[in-house]
Amino acid sequence: MNRRDSIKNLTFLSIGAGLLLEGCYGISREKIKRSLTRYEYGRTPEEKLYDDKLFAEKFFTNQELFTLDKICNLILPPNEFGSIRDAEVVQLIEFMAKDIPTYKEPLRNGLIWIDNESKKRFNNLFVDCEIAQQKNIFDEIAYYDPNKSISDYSEPVQWFNLVRNLTMTGYFTSEVGINELGYKGNIPNIWDGVPQDVLDQYGLEYDKDWLEKFVDQSKRNIIAEWDDEGNLLT
């Protein structure tokens, strides 16, 4: 699916979540509200009912959202184009967990595991660990080799792959991610007729009157208008 307008009405609008985001994301509550409501797109009545149902729900706790923010920033650190916060990746993951219910259990279990593993190794929650300690845990599951590891990390590996995929998807389908890719999309160019060398090859030429009428670049930005009977006015 596309990014939909998934961050439109996430229940970050509650006061508690707003304070969390304001403190941890370094942005104002006004900006948070704008980011949740600025997307508009055409939907069928059925799609709107479905989206409204998901917008009314909240899956992750505030602490889990904070942990996801830390994880996603480690997976894809900020650069000159932007960050996962600019791309609103955590908000996307929140929506995806509700949109695809099979994501819920593995995502939550993974967050529980990462905190338990952090406490076991460093006597701290994951978000309170130093970056080097956080990366130490990730190295075990991001580059997991079952033949070398003394622990079975198969489930954490699957969880990490899911979060990594969602992080990359969320970032590279956002405005900042698309800018980093340099993707331009379909950009109209100027067509001034068949090249002269091709016309010469086939012994053809344009009628001057028709050329001026249909390949006049001075009129390329004029929007066509019709009368009530379907006659072209411009």
Complete DSSP assignment for 123-152: SS-GGGS-HHHHHHHHHHHHT--TTT-SS-
Pair (101, 205) in one structural domain: no
Residue 163 belongs to a domain: yes
Mean pLDDT confidence for 163-189: 86
Q: Are 63 and 138 found together in one domain?
A: yes
- Does some domain include residue 148? yes
Q: What is the mean pLDDT of residues 144-150?
A: 71
Q: How many domains does the chain have?
A: 2
Q: Are residues 37 and 138 in the same domain?
A: yes
**pLDDT tens-digit profile of 70-125?**
999 999 999 999 999 999 899 889 988 988 899 999 999 999 999 999 999 999 99
The residue range of the domain holding 211 is 190-224
User: Residue 149: its pLDDT value, please?
Assistant: 65
The 10 Å Cβ neighbour count of residue 230 is 6
Model confidence pTM above 0.75: no
Residues 65 and 20 sit within 8 Å (Cβ to Cβ): yes
Same domain, residue pair 133 and 53:
yes
22 found inside a domain = yes
Residue 56 or 62, more confident: 62
- pLDDT at residue number 57: 84
Q: Say yes or no: 135 and 216 in one domain.
A: no
**Same domain, yes or no: 39 and 99:** yes
- DSSP lists the bridge partners of residue 226 as 232
Q: Which amino acid is at 88?
A: E
